[in-house]
Amino acid sequence: MNSLQQIELMEVEEIQSQEKRFEITDLESLNWAFRKISALKEEEKNIKQLADVERERIAEWEKSELSTIENSMSFFKSLIQKYHSEQLAADPKAKTISTPYGKSKTRKSNEAPEKADEEKLLQYVIDNDLVDYIKQSVKWADVKKTFKIVEISGEKVVVDENGQLVPGVTVKPESITYSVEV
């Protein structure tokens, strides 16, 4: 903001503090009001720029502080998971470990058919006249219930009710997930 605009802003403060109301009566007073608005807009722009700089600085600070906290929480969660996996290995019924300050829970998901290639699977469903399982794409939740996982030559594969290999589907291995609640 230049010195002329600063003078304009001081005049704005003077006018607003006076009891008498200012009126625009001619081009000169209109021009005077426009100068005041121009100075106010410049002041508004400066305030917004300063606020944006501060918001960026605060956002960076927040990101930095939270990163440290997130790293620490990940560290402790991995320790909890390691401990819980050891307890689960010793006692398969130890699915939840509870303390006054939190719980560690496990959730086991069984092996299940998993879509690997939507196009091949859709072609399979069309070729085998399984139109009940077709919408715009395969009704995966319904059709996967008809599949079975079998082992052929040491490899687990997905077959249909007739024992035919289902292309585009792989076997998702059994897994255990851990969650921590505090």
Q: What is the DSSP letter of 15?
A: H
What is the rounded CA–CA span in Å between residue 147 and residue 115? 12
| Contacts for 88-94: CB closer than 8 Å, 24+ residues apart | 88/176
pTM above 0.85, yes or no: no
Q: What are the pLDDT digits (tens) for 83-141?
A: 999 999 999 999 999 999 999 999 989 999 999 998 899 899 989 988 888 877 788 89
Q: Convert 124-146 to b/e letters by CB count within 10 Å (16 or more is b).
A: bbeeeebeebeeeebeeeebbee
Asked if residue 74 lies in contact with residue 142, where contact means CB atoms within 8 angstroms, the answer is no
Per-residue pLDDT, 6: 79
What is the rounded CA–CA span in Å between residue 94 and residue 43? 65
Q: Is the pLDDT of residue 12 over 80?
A: no
Query: Mean pLDDT across the stretch 21-37?
Result: 88
